[in-house]
Structure 1
Amino acid sequence: MRAAIPRIAPVAVLLLAIAGVTTWLVAGVGVLTGKQIPIHLAAEGVCWTLFTAAVLLLQRVPRRAAPALVLAGALLVGAAGATGQPTISTDSARYSWDGIVQDAGISPYAHVPADAALAPLRPSWLFPAAGTAPDGTTVCPGPRAEPTEQVGAPGEICTSINRPRVPTIYPPVAEALFALARIAVPPEVGYLPVQLLGLLAVLATTALLLRTLPRVGRDPRWAAAFGWCPFVTMDAVTNAHVDAAAAFLALAATVLLVSGRSVRGGIVLGLAIATKFLPLLVVPPLARRRPVLLAATALGTVALVYVPHVLAVGPSVIGYLPGYLNEEGYDDGSRSALLAVLLPDGASTLVAVALLAALAVLLLLRTDPRDPWAAQTAMIGAALVLLSPRYSWYSLLLVPFIVMSGRWEWFGVVLTLSVLALQRDLWAFRSVLLVALALVLVASWARRRLATPRLKAG
């Protein structure tokens, strides 16, 4: 171990530097505003550069010393991400509110946040006191709070929760995690509980990668590409997105299914889908082995976790999902950033879904369920490219499968969606996304070219 210290030391220094820059960005610069976009982009660029160097230098560290270093680094960088409030997204405000409501014994699907019936539960950090401007309009303190009309009572209130007049969108397993994150803390405690939930998901995923990579013949040190990733830190920990938990469950389900434990794998897959619906994308490359059992256990698990909520609130358990799809342009066919340039108005989403369905069938028929990693990476990545979500954290599902498959070119899509979270120029996004897609296609072509044996001249 003493002989490994000279190789560990440079990696440790880089990790400390990443943690320092992250702490400065999260606790110092804080909540993103328009003027701070260049600062955030520069800090993220520094973190990505340091991260790349650290992961490459880690390959010189002896394998026996690597797991402890990878986990310690993930803990260090992740803890730095929890040193301040969420910087980009307000989703964790809804997570926290849903947890507070559930811990008070109330279904999160029963009331909207602005409902006056829940006024006694409102903590001041989520519902700050409203002020009045000279012209009589409501003024809210802080960078996040916005005025909204109460439901069931007159008057405006201030809240940091987005869409406070619509029901929650999150499925039951996600809601259970929100309640669990806050069960031991009073309502006055802020974002830290859900950030720690995100950190736990990152550490669990990193540990699972360390354990699983050697089983598929890959170097476990590559687990650092997930655990130390600046994107993962910002979206899973700082902004506390529940997609990190869904990604862990999707990875765990795949590991179980690959090892032949179909029932357990199907149950965990159902839990992943009932956390965030995106893990459905990992299914096609797995479904050729015992498809009926897989469908029965996964869908049965989803149905089972929904039952208590359906009994409590009925159809309201659907929440804001239809409104969200409409708001994001999925149901009017305008969502796909690249296809919308080529197709008539309203057709891009339909064509994107058709292409994804065709890819799913192809992967179902051609993928060995014992080695699904590259196909799962392609399925998730293609969905992100074709459907072009506005939210970078959807890529949290992609990163563990990039690590498992070694298809590093897909990090270009992750970076593209990360930049989109900091700016909204559609044509710039399309251009960068097109470059990221070209990188994937070229890398895939080169990999096949190298893997195809050449015939020797006669």
Structure 2
Amino acid sequence: MTAAAFPRKLDASGGSSRATAALWGLVGLGGALYAGVTAALFADAAGPARWTAVLAGGALLGAGWWLAPRTDPRDGLIAVAVGAVLFRLLLLPAPGGSTDVYRYLWDGRVQAAGINPYAHAPTDPALVGLRDRTVWPRINHRDDRTIYPPAAQATFRAAHAIGLRTPTGFTAVVIAADLAAIGLLVRLVRRAGRDPRLAVVYAWHPLALLGFAHAAHLESFVVLAVLAAALAWTAGRLEQVRCWDWRRR
């Protein structure tokens, strides 16, 4: 190494260390932000809390996207992963998410009773014995039979079978799928020859955080499936893709 190159190497290393420290600082700021959002949701300030999460979370994401590629490769990726887990766990207990989760819990309960969820709406007298004071009153569109396809129904049944029968419990399943998707995204980005730290764009995205860790929407499973298929495709394991129409008999 020449004398001229040595200072440049030190400068690059120092810049990487500063960027890594700054990214960890963003993890701390994000933790404070989403803890505050959860506290506001408990205080019944859903509107301001969600807008704050979207706007401030978007700014946090932008800063993370700029910093991540400038960090130490290993430590930067760890910071991205820790932030992804921390932000989701902080939103997990927050109230006021989508009422869709109550339909998920209901459909799981109906299946556990040996009843076809496609055959009866929640208001059907045949299901009176399954009603309670927590889930049933909060089901949206109670006069309509379920719209969720078989794969979703299998998820509802599995969650019920392992005892995840509350909104928080089912949301934990959604978060697990979302975190698994982030892991697959890191692998896919790396396989494409790009910087895996750029997975921060999804891992810290406020819409993904609110949509999955707060509202428990099922699209987290779709994201996971798409990324798994993309990984299989890039590995040459999918020679042909066929579409299965589950509605056909």
TM-score by length of 2: 0.84
Could you tell me whether the CA contact under 8 Å between 1:85 and 1:191 is conserved in 2?
Answer: no
Could you tell me whether the CA contact under 8 Å between 1:198 and 1:236 is conserved in 2?
Answer: yes
Shift of 1:104: 2.8
C-alpha spacing 1:32/1:114, structure 2 compared with 1 (3 Å): farther
Shift of 1:126: 1.6
Alignment of 1:248-327 (within 5 A): 248-262=224-238, 293-295=240-242, 298-299=243-244, 303=246
CA deviation vs aligned residue, 1:73-121 (integer Å, no higher than 9, x gap): 111011112122243x211111121122223332221221122322332
Task: Say if 2:22 is the partner of 1:10.
Answer: yes
Q: Which has the higher contact order (CA 8 A, sep 6+)?
A: 2
* Number of residue pairs matched by the alignment: 236
- Which of 47, 63, 73 aligns to 2:73? It is 63
Counterpart of 1:72, as a letter, is V
Match of 2:32 in 1: 20
Question: For 2:42 and 2:100, how far apart are their aligned partners in 1?
Answer: 16
Task: Say if 2:31 is the partner of 1:84.
Answer: no
Match of 1:48 in 2: 58
Match of 1:376 in 2: none
What SS does the corresponding residue of 1:59 show, helix, strand or coil?
A: helix
Shift of 1:222: 0.8
Match of 1:411 in 2: none
Query: How much is the aligned-residue C-alpha RMSD, in angstroms?
Result: 2.6
What SS does the corresponding residue of 2:73 show, helix, strand or coil?
A: coil
Question: For 1:76 and 1:186, how far apart are their aligned partners in 2?
Answer: 21
Question: For 1:104 and 1:66, how far apart are their aligned partners in 2?
Answer: 48
Could you tell me whether the CA contact under 8 Å between 2:27 and 2:79 is conserved in 1?
Answer: no
Match of 2:117 in 1: 108
CA deviation vs aligned residue, 1:212-252 (integer Å, no higher than 9, x gap): 11211211001111111111010011100001101110121
What SS does the corresponding residue of 2:123 show, helix, strand or coil?
A: coil
Could you tell me whether the CA contact under 8 Å between 1:74 and 1:202 is conserved in 2?
Answer: no
Match of 1:239 in 2: 215
Match of 2:177 in 1: 201
Could you tell me whether the CA contact under 8 Å between 2:164 and 2:170 is conserved in 1?
Answer: no
Could you tell me whether the CA contact under 8 Å between 2:17 and 2:72 is conserved in 1?
Answer: no
Match of 2:83 in 1: 73
What SS does the corresponding residue of 2:122 show, helix, strand or coil?
A: coil
Counterpart of 1:63, as a letter, is P
Shift of 1:18: 1.9
TM-score by length of 1: 0.47
Alignment of 1:334-413 (within 5 A): none
- Which of 178, 194, 201 aligns to 2:156? It is 178
Counterpart of 1:125, as a letter, is T
Could you tell me whether the CA contact under 8 Å between 2:35 and 2:90 is conserved in 1?
Answer: yes
Could you tell me whether the CA contact under 8 Å between 2:83 and 2:204 is conserved in 1?
Answer: yes
Match of 1:160 in 2: 138
Match of 1:210 in 2: 186
Shift of 1:125: 1.6
What SS does the corresponding residue of 1:294 show, helix, strand or coil?
A: coil
Question: For 1:106 and 1:213, how far apart are their aligned partners in 2?
Answer: 43
C-alpha spacing 1:215/1:260, structure 2 compared with 1 (3 Å): same
Could you tell me whether the CA contact under 8 Å between 1:11 and 1:58 is conserved in 2?
Answer: yes
Counterpart of 1:65, as a letter, is D
Gaps of 5+ in 2: 1-13
What SS does the corresponding residue of 1:168 show, helix, strand or coil?
A: coil
Question: For 1:29 and 1:164, how far apart are their aligned partners in 2?
Answer: 26
Counterpart of 1:239, as a letter, is A
Counterpart of 1:166, as a letter, is D
Question: For 2:39 and 2:127, how far apart are their aligned partners in 1?
Answer: 31
C-alpha spacing 1:15/1:90, structure 2 compared with 1 (3 Å): same
Question: For 1:90 and 1:32, how far apart are their aligned partners in 2?
Answer: 16
> Percent identity between the aligned chains?
30
Could you tell me whether the CA contact under 8 Å between 2:110 and 2:116 is conserved in 1?
Answer: yes
C-alpha spacing 1:182/1:24, structure 2 compared with 1 (3 Å): farther
Counterpart of 1:219, as a letter, is D
Question: For 1:54 and 1:8, how far apart are their aligned partners in 2?
Answer: 10
Task: Say if 2:205 is the partner of 1:229.
Answer: yes
Shift of 1:72: 1.7
What SS does the corresponding residue of 1:28 show, helix, strand or coil?
A: helix
Shift of 1:186: 6.7
Could you tell me whether the CA contact under 8 Å between 1:20 and 1:80 is conserved in 2?
Answer: no
What SS does the corresponding residue of 2:70 show, helix, strand or coil?
A: coil
Could you tell me whether the CA contact under 8 Å between 1:58 and 1:66 is conserved in 2?
Answer: yes
